[in-house]
Structure 1
C-alpha cells in the first residue's frame, strides 16, 4: 500500500501546486507559470543527484528521454493555460481521463497486464469525471460532455490528460532503465533549464520577471518537488495505469481548493463526482 499513499501524496501536491500558482501567479502568462516552480526547484533537484547517485543507465533511457521531455513541456504549459483561464474545479478533475489513455499506452509500451477490478476502478474514476459536470445534464445526457467544450480550460485539460498518459508511460520506461529518483531529478532539472533558455531566447519571459516573487517561487518549488518525488517512487512500485488512476484523485483536492480559495460554484455535483472517483481508487488499491 506504500504506492497508494505515495500516489495520493502526488495527487495532493499536484492540486496544491495548481491552486498555489493560480492564486499567486495568474498575473503571469501560462508560459511563465509553467516555468516558475521548476525554475526555483532546479538547484534543489540538481543538488539531489549527487546524494542519490547515478545508477546504471539502460538502453531505453535516452530514447525515452528524447521524446518524453518535449511532450512534457507541451503538456505542462497547456496544464497551466487551462487552470489560468477556467475554474480549478472544472479543469483538474478532467485529468481523471488519463487512466483511459494509460490503459492502452501502458499495454502497448510496457506490456502491463491489468486485472478486471483494476479496469473497473479506472472506469469508476472516469464516471466520476462525468458526474463532476453533471449540472449540465439539464441540457440532456450529453450535456456534461458538451459542457467540456463550452469551458475552454476543461477541453484543454482533456488534451493534457492524453499527453500525461504518454509521458507517464514513457517516464516508467526511464525508471525501469535507471532509478525513480534519478529519473525525476534528471528530467525536471533538464525541463527547468531548457524551458528557461527557450522562453528567455524567444522573449516570452525575462530573468527579472521570473525572480519578482522569490519567496512564493520557493514555496512553489518545494510543492512541485514533493509531487515529483511521490510520483516517481509510486510509479516504480505498481502498474503505470494504477498509479496514474490514484493520482487523478487530484480532482478531489482541486474541488475543495476551488470552493475554499476561489469561491467556485456548482460544488455539489463536483463533490459527488469526487466520491465516485474515490471509490474507484479504493477498488484499485484493494483488488487491482
Structure 2
C-alpha cells in the first residue's frame, strides 16, 4: 500500500501548495503566482536529474513534450488565476471533473464507449458540484448551478480540469517513452524556465516580484517538488487510474484549508459536495 500513502501525500501537498500560495502570495498577480512555485523548484528539478538513472528516450517523447508543455502552462496559469480570485473551497474541488472530461475525450478521440459505471460517476460528480454550491440555492432550485458560473474561480477550474484531462494522456506518453521521474524533472524544470522567461519578457511578470520573498518562495518550491516526487513515485507503482483517484482527495483537503485558514463560509455544503465529487471521480477512474 506504499502507492496509496504516496498518492495521499501528493493530494495533501497539492492542496497545501494552493493554500500556501493564496496565504502568502495573494498580493502578486495570477501570472506571477503561476511562476513562483516552479521557479523555485526549477533548480531542484535540475539537481534531481543527477540522482536518477537517465532512461532510453523513446521516439514519441519529444513530439509529446512539444504539445503537453504549452498545454500544461495554460492549465497551471488558469489554476492559479482561479485560486487567486475565488475561495479555495470553491475552486480546487472542481478538479474532480477531470475524469468526466477524460471519458468524453476517450469517446471522441479513441472511440472508447462510455460505460454505465462511467455515467453513474459523472452524475455523482455533477451532483457534488450542485451540493458544493447549495448555500447559494436559497429558494431557487437552479441557484447552485448558476453559482458555479457566477463564481469565476469555479468556472475557470472546470476549464483547468478539462486541460488536465488532456495533459494526462500526453503525460502517459512521456512516461512510457522515458521514466516517471525523468519525465517529471524535465517537464517541470522546463515549465519553470520557459514560463518565467516568456512572462517576464512580455511584461506580465516582474523578476523583482518573483524574488521579493525568497524564503517563502523556497518553501513553495519545496512543496511542489515533493508533490512531483510523490506523484511520480506513486504512478510508477500502480495503474494511473488508481493513483489519480486518490489524488482527487486534494479537494477535501482544500475545503479544510479554506475553513481553517481563510474562514470561508458554507463549509458543510462544500465538504459534502467535495466528498460526493471524489466518490464520482473514483467510480469513473476505477470502473468507467
* 1:26-45 residue CA offsets vs partner (Å, 9 max, x unmatched): 11011100000110111111
Deviation at 1:285, TM superposition (A): 9.1
CA drift of 1:241 comes to 4.2
Residue matched to 1:210 = 210
Mapped to 2, the partners of 1:278 and 1:206 lie a distance apart of 37
Q: What's the offset of the Cα at 1:225?
A: 0.8
Q: Is the 8 A contact 1:102 1:241 kept in 2?
A: no
- Aligned residue for 1:28, secondary structure, equals coil
1:221 Cα deviation after fit: 0.5
Summarize the alignment of residues 18-167 of structure 1 with structure 2, pairs less than 5 Å apart.
Answer: 18-105=18-105, 120=120, 124-167=124-167
Name the residue aligned to 1:190: 190
Deviation at 1:170, TM superposition (A): 1.0
The 8 Å contact of residues 94 and 161 in structure 2, kept in 1 or not, is answered as yes
User: Who is 1:3 aligned against?
Assistant: 3
Shift of 1:271: 1.5
Q: Give the secondary-structure state (helix, strand or coil) at the position aligned to 2:204.
A: coil
Counterparts in 2 of 1:91 and 1:138: CA distance versus 1, 3 Å: same
Q: CA deviation at 1:101?
A: 1.2
Match of 2:13 in 1: 13
Distance 1:284 1:237, change over 3 A: farther
Q: Is contact 1:35–1:192 with CA below 8 Å preserved after alignment? A: yes
CA contact (8 A) 1:32 1:205 kept: yes
What is the CA–CA distance in structure 2 between the aligned matches of 1:224 and 1:112, rounded to whole Å?
Answer: 33
Q: Give the whole-Å Cα distance in 1 for the aligned partners of 2:145 and 2:83.
A: 19
Looking at structure 2, the residues matched to 143 and 61 of structure 1 have their Cα atoms a distance apart, in angstroms, of 46
CA drift of 1:263 comes to: 0.4
- Closer, same or farther: CA 54–255 of 1 in aligned 2, 3 Å: same
Is the contact between residue 34 and residue 80 of structure 1 (CA under 8 Å) also seen in structure 2?
yes
TM-score, reference length from structure 2:
0.89
1:126 Cα offset (Å)? 4.6
Which deviates more from structure 2 when the two are superposed, residues 185-194 or residues 203-212? Answer: 203-212
When the two chains are superposed, the root-mean-square deviation of aligned CA atoms in Å is 2.6
Deviations 1:37-84 (A, max 9, x none): 110111111000121121011122111111010011111111111111
Would you say the 8 A contact 1:127–1:277 is kept in 2?
A: yes
Please, which moves more after superposition, 100-109 or 202-211? 100-109
Matches of 2:254 and 2:150, distance apart in 1 = 20
CA offsets, 1:212-262, max 9 Å, x none?
A: 111100110011111112222333444444433332221101110000000
For 1:171-197, what per-residue CA distance to the aligned partner results, in whole angstroms no more than 9, with x for missing partners? Answer: 111111111000100000000010111
Residue 234 (str. 1) matches residue 234 (str. 2):
yes
Unaligned runs of 5+ in 2: none
Residues 155-176 of structure 1 deviation map (CA, whole Å, 9 limit, x = unaligned) = 1111111111111221111111
For normalisation by structure 1, the TM-score amounts to: 0.89
More displaced, 84-93 or 100-109? 100-109
Residue 279 of structure 1: CA displacement? 4.4
Counterpart CA distance in 2 for 1:123 and 1:175 is 31
Contact kept? 2:75, 2:164, Cα under 8 Å? yes
